[in-house]
Structure 1
Amino acid sequence: MKLKQLYRMLMAASQAHARWDYETSMSILRDKKKLYLLGLMAIPALLTGLAMAAGSEGYLGGYKAYQPANYDPFIFVVSIAVGLGAGLITGCIGAGGGFIITPALMSAGVKGILAVGTDLFHIFAKAIMGTAVHRKLGNVSVSLAIAFLVGSGAGVMGGGFINRALYEHNPVLSDLFISVVYVVLLGFLGFYAMFDFLKLRKAPGDVGAHHGESAHGDEAASGKVGMPARLQAAKIPPLITFDEDLVPGGKKIPALFVAICGAIVGFAAAIMGVGGGFLTFPIFVYILGVSSFTTVGTDILQIIFTAGFASIAQYAVYGFIFYTLAMGMLLGSLVGIQVGALTTKVVKGIYIRGFYALSILAGFVNRFFALPEKLKQMELIEISDAMAKGLSFAGLIIFFVVIGIFAFWVIAKFLSNTKALRGEV
């Protein structure tokens, strides 16, 4: 697979997850009962903050000897800001907001394994509250979903085991591993996104805010049938039949391939904390050849199952969930997504694309500049303490300054165009 094709696939993945995030958030915001439930869920977070502020010096997450995260009310405020920033990116761009959550929490002093577990729990809580399952389950192929979820469960257990094993061996190694994963992913996405921005900036007319859009509508997909055709041609039993409503007799594919794809999604979710949903759509459509109609319903099930199983069975029971931060991120993201989505109606898409590329690159710089300090702590490189800490601090400042400027710009545009947007709310 060429790098450009891989980039397009990852962007499609991010867009699909962002669409789910937006629809779920809107479902919560438009339902008073769900808002009341959200308020009840936030009460423990507030009580925890009051208890900690009263003087109890508690360390949250896993083994106390490692002291992975010291809670203070400031971190709760940071979690709301992180959720707000991620929501603004998701709402504006339609992609990528979830990629900054784990790096942002790690920058705020939360251990990587706690950041991953907390992100997963935040996604799970949002899915349970906001997903109107009864409206879309008609699109689900039950046999396809079962095979996929079997693989997803195995992948989640594998990813969770690796993260916990690394943490038990050495907490610094765990942070280093998670940071390297994000350096590779964000670096790849960020540089390609910046390349796209620079290329489209010279194009005549405006372009859509969302990747894959142009002034003339969605770009036609091409070259996507090779892999699905080969996989569906295999006759490895048992075979799964799907898309019967769209294709006479339906399509058939070995359950083994579906389970393997599920394992990849589950593993990615457990390792990175992005819920797995960001990979399901492109894997189903571009690799397995499942229609987007069927993929939508199956994706809902897998997000609930994957994020729930990973966050509870692989992280929460071991103490690697920061409930207070999860609620803070949920509150912030609900506001950010709505503001971001409305702002796209009054600003040029090319500007939003530019900020998106900068935001992803800022996340890359943040984790990349954190590596020397981790490598020094692992005694893998020789570097002065001042240099290592200086690079880490520089990465932190660059990251939060870029995200802060983006958030300020979007909110300012939103507030200055309130009258024009009033009819959209």
Structure 2
Amino acid sequence: MNFFRNLHQFMMVGARAQAHWELEMSNNILRSRKRLAIIGLLLIPILLGGIAFADSVGGALPSFLGGKSAYGPSHYTNLIFGASILVGLCAGLITGCIGAGGGFIIAPALMSVGVKGILAVGTDLFHIFAKAIMGSVLHRKMGNISVALAVTFLIGAISGSTVGGYINRALYDKNPVLSDMFITIIYVLMLGFLAFYALADWYKTTRRKTAKSNSQGEGPATQGEEVPPIGKMVQSINLPPMLTFDKGVTPGGRKISAFFLIIAGFIVGLAAAIMGVGGGFLTFPIFVYGLGVSSMTTVGTDIFQIVFTAGYGSITQYAIYGFIFYTLAMGMLLGSLIGIQVGSIVTKVVSGTTICAFYAITVSAGFFNRACALPSKLVKMGYLDVSPQVLKVLNTIGTYGFFCIIIIFAVWVFWSFFTNLNVLRAEEVQESWEMQHN
């Protein structure tokens, strides 16, 4: 039981690190007129060209959306683009307010409305790459990047991403339903695990009547300069070639075998390519807890690797095979930029216990959605025998229940935001005054 509890803490630290990265990228984009102008320019051909594309196919796109043949889909209705903005907005609200887990609902949300799993994964990964390439300010972090660690890690990450992309495409080529079933099972296991412990933490927090929750968006936790036990053990293994890092943290620096970095990179790249999520949710805990790298070096190296891992995975494993829906990706990017900002502001006026509750509920909703969708995949593959009526009820409950919970959460966040505007403005004035007088 302690193993699973430690695994949950490991994943939560990674989810918070990913949320912290998402917020930083959002701030970098929104504070730069040049970056906003680039987004605006990208939207013009999508909106105008997409309408022409829709006319040219004569409304036939839905008939092959998610079909077995690879293709390069584009915008075909304003409804699809608007829906993608709402998906990104809700994911951003969850990320900003809760500080973890927002990106995990994107693939389930897209699959719930009929987008094939491989297309949802490729689109989500491309959306992460777009955010990374537009929001990263690498020169600010270059002093914290260990080039040797980053390059060695990327060897493994690119290899893992190649394998993960190949697995998804191979399953899809064999049978699109098999591909959907595989991705659904991955999300059921991951979200089910997180949901169980999130609900358990919420229950314990409520019983203790604690006003502060571990699920609050505080950004990634750090280990100071102490190397965790697993990190010490890994660094004690002398397996050439050895890499030296953290010279600015420890006199003489620390050493680690390049093989462990390649293995870590492979795991991150594999997970990112299969699930379509940012590799940062694994990179931070693996570096800090598993390899014993200082948090300062980890943050800089993580930002560096996400650009290349997400870029390589989305372009070489999905884009060139036609498994990216660019309109959805841009819509999710726009929605998430707004959602993250609003969500992070709301944390100032909402108790940690409430945030803990909504984290548990939203992750559980994602798990419930994929769990309800799984039987229909198993039936189509011949692994389960369930009547069509039961499957229809399960799919309806899973889809509508999921979106109802997410919409209720979004309404609650915006309600908390607008009803506390006076308090938030007062805090902003106070913070501005303190900055000027310090």
**TM-score, structure 1 length as denominator?**
0.94
> Following superposition of structure 1 onto structure 2, how do residues 285-296 of structure 1 map, counting pairs within 5 Å?
285-296=288-299
**How far, CA to CA, are the matches of 1:28 and 1:67 in structure 2?**
27
CA contact (8 A) 2:89 2:337 kept: yes
CA deviation profile, 1:304-350 (whole Å, cap 9, x unmatched): 01100000000000000000000000010001000001111111121
Structure 1 residues 317 and 373, CA, compared in 2 at 3 Å: closer, same or farther? Answer: same
Q: Give the share of equivalent positions with the same residue, in percent.
A: 57
Amino acid at match of 2:120: A
Match of 1:270 among 238, 260, 273: 273
CA gap of 1:224–1:211, structure 2 versus 1, over 3 A, is farther
Gap change, CA 1:388 and 1:205, over 3 Å in 2: closer
Structure-2 residue corresponding to 1:260: 263
Assess, with a 3 A threshold, how the Cα gap between structure 1 residues 151 and 301 changes in structure 2: closer, same or farther: same
Residue in structure 2 matched with residue 181 of structure 1 by the alignment: 186
Residue in structure 1 matched with residue 381 of structure 2 by the alignment: 378
RMSD: 2.3
For 1:20 and 1:360, the matched residues in 2 are separated by 20
After TM superposition, the structure 1 = structure 2 runs for residues 199-238 of structure 1, keeping only pairs within 5 Å, are: 199-208=204-213, 210-211=215-216, 225-238=228-241
Find the residue that maps to 1:240 and give its secondary structure: strand
Please, which of 404, 417, 427 is the counterpart of residue 414 of structure 1? Answer: 417
Task: Spell out, residue by residue over 1:72-129, the C-alpha distance to the aligned partner (whole angstroms, 9 max, x if none).
Answer: 4322222111101100011001111011011111011110000000000000000111
Which residue matches 1:279? 282
1:127 is aligned to 132
Q: Map of 1:281-320 to 2, 5 A cutoff?
A: 281-320=284-323
Q: 1:11 to 1:242 in 2, by over 3 A?
A: same
Q: Matched residues in 2 for 1:312 and 1:62: separation?
A: 20
SS in 2 for 1:202: helix
Distance change in 2, residues 1:396/1:385 (3 Å): same
- Aligned runs of 1:45-60 on 2, under 5 Å? 45-54=46-55, 55-58=58-61, 59=64
Q: Is 1:88–1:336's contact at 8 Å kept on the other side of the alignment?
A: yes
The CA distance in 2 between the partners of 1:232 and 1:220, in whole Å, is 16
Separation in 1, partners of 2:422, 2:297: 39
In structure 1, what residue type is equivalent to 2:171? L
Cα distance, 1:206–1:197 mapped onto 2, change above 3 Å: same
More displaced stretch, 293-302 vs 66-75: 66-75
**Judging changes above 3 Å, is the alpha-carbon distance between structure 1 residues 177 and 239 closer, same or farther for their aligned structure 2 residues?**
same
Q: Distance in 2 between matches of 1:393 and 1:310?
A: 33
1:171 counterpart residue number: 176
Greater shift, 45-54 or 349-358, is seen at 45-54
Answer yes or no: is the 8 Å Cα contact 2:98–2:217 preserved in 1. Answer: no
Partner of 1:44: 45
Kept in 1, the 8 Å contact 2:68–2:172? The answer is no
In the TM superposition, residue 240 of structure 1 has moved relative to its aligned partner by 0.6
Measured after TM superposition, the shift of residue 398 of structure 1 is 1.0
Q: Is the 1:119–1:326 contact (alpha carbons within 8 Å) kept by the matching residues of 2?
A: yes
Alignment match of 2:326 (pick from 319, 323, 327): 323
CA distance in 2, matches of 1:254, 1:103: 38
Tell me, in whole angstroms, the C-alpha distance in 2 between the residues paired with 1:210 and 1:328: 27
Does the CA contact (< 8 Å) of 2:163 and 2:270 recur in 1? Answer: yes
User: Residues 123 and 178 from structure 1, CA distance in 2 versus in 1: closer, same or farther, beyond 3 angstroms?
Assistant: same
Secondary structure of the equivalent of 1:64? coil
Q: Which runs of 5+ in 2 are unaligned?
A: 430-438
Distance 1:209 1:406, change over 3 A: farther
- Counterpart position of 2:434: none
Q: Which residue of 2 aligns with 1:98?
A: 103
| 3-state SS of 1:346 partner | coil
1:162 aligned to which of 135, 143, 167: 167
CA distance in 2, matches of 1:390, 1:168: 29
Structure 1 partner of 2:31: 30
Checking the alignment, whether the CA contact within 8 Å between 2:74 and 2:327 is kept in structure 1 is no
TM-score, normalised on structure 2?
0.91
Contact 1:228-1:288 at 8 Å conserved across structures:
yes
**Cα distance in 1 between the residues matched to 2:159 and 2:353:** 41
Structure 1: distance between partners of 2:317 and 2:116: 16
Cα distance, 1:43 vs structure 2: 1.9
Tell me which moved more, 267-276 or 383-392. Answer: 383-392
